[in-house]
């Protein structure tokens, strides 16, 4: 028990020393997409070298097609490794189609600093069988 308490204190110390840095999504700290289905908030941050994009429903519900996400990392033109998790940290496979209502999806990237991540127009987030992302979303890691 003594070692467990020391371990927990060590984790708190490590996480407490690395602040969360938020990045701009289309020149805003939190970017909102609104439609007939509701409102979705997109934010981006980094902590402990883990870059994360969070898609959080503010109202309504959306269908997420996990295998339809199209992204690009600039200056490197190739897409980087993506890891999908729900808000509890449970992994989501790329082939899943899920209904997001009142919860968040976390997408982890592992880019280099000073890059931009582009989320390209796609069928990743759907509302009434129509794509919600119709224009490129730019996330600046500067």
Model confidence pLDDT, tens digit, residues 68-117: 777 777 766 444 566 666 666 666 766 666 677 777 777 877 666 667 88
Which domains, and CATH codes, for the chain?
A: 20-140 (2.60.40)
Task: Kindly tell me if the per-residue pLDDT of 16 is higher than 60.
Answer: no
pTM above 0.75, yes or no: no
Please state, rounded to an integer, the average pLDDT across all residues of the chain.
Answer: 77
According to the model, what pLDDT value does residue 112 have?
63
Cis before 75? omega within 30:
yes
Dihedral sign of CA atoms 72, 76, 82, 87 in order: negative
Residues 6+ apart with CB under 8 A from 41: 30, 31, 32, 33, 54, 55, 56, 57, 58
27-51 confidence digits (pLDDT tens): 998 999 888 888 989 998 887 767 8
Per residue in 118-142, pLDDT (tens digit) is 888 888 888 888 888 888 888 887 7
Q: How many C-beta atoms surround the C-beta of residue 126 within 10 A? A: 19
pLDDT of 121: 84
Q: Identify the pLDDT of residue 78.
A: 45
């Amino acid at each position: 028990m003594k070692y467990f308490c020391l371990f927990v204190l060590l984790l708190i110390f490590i996480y407490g020393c690395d602040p969360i840095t938020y990045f701009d999504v289309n020149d805003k700290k939190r970017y909102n997409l609104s439609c007939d289905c509701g409102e979705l908030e997109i934010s981006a941050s980094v902590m402990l070298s883990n870059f994360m994009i969070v898609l959080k429903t503010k109202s309504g519900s959306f269908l997420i097609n996990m295998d339809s996400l199209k992204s690009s990392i600039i200056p490197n033109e190739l897409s980087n490794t993506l890891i999908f998790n729900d808000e509890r940290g449970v992994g989501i496979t790329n082939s899943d189609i899920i209904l997001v209502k009142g919860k968040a999806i976390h997408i982890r990237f592992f880019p280099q600093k000073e890059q931009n991540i582009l989320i390209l127009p796609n069928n990743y987030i759907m509302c009434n069988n129509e794509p919600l992302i119709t224009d490129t979303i730019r996330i600046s890691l500067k």
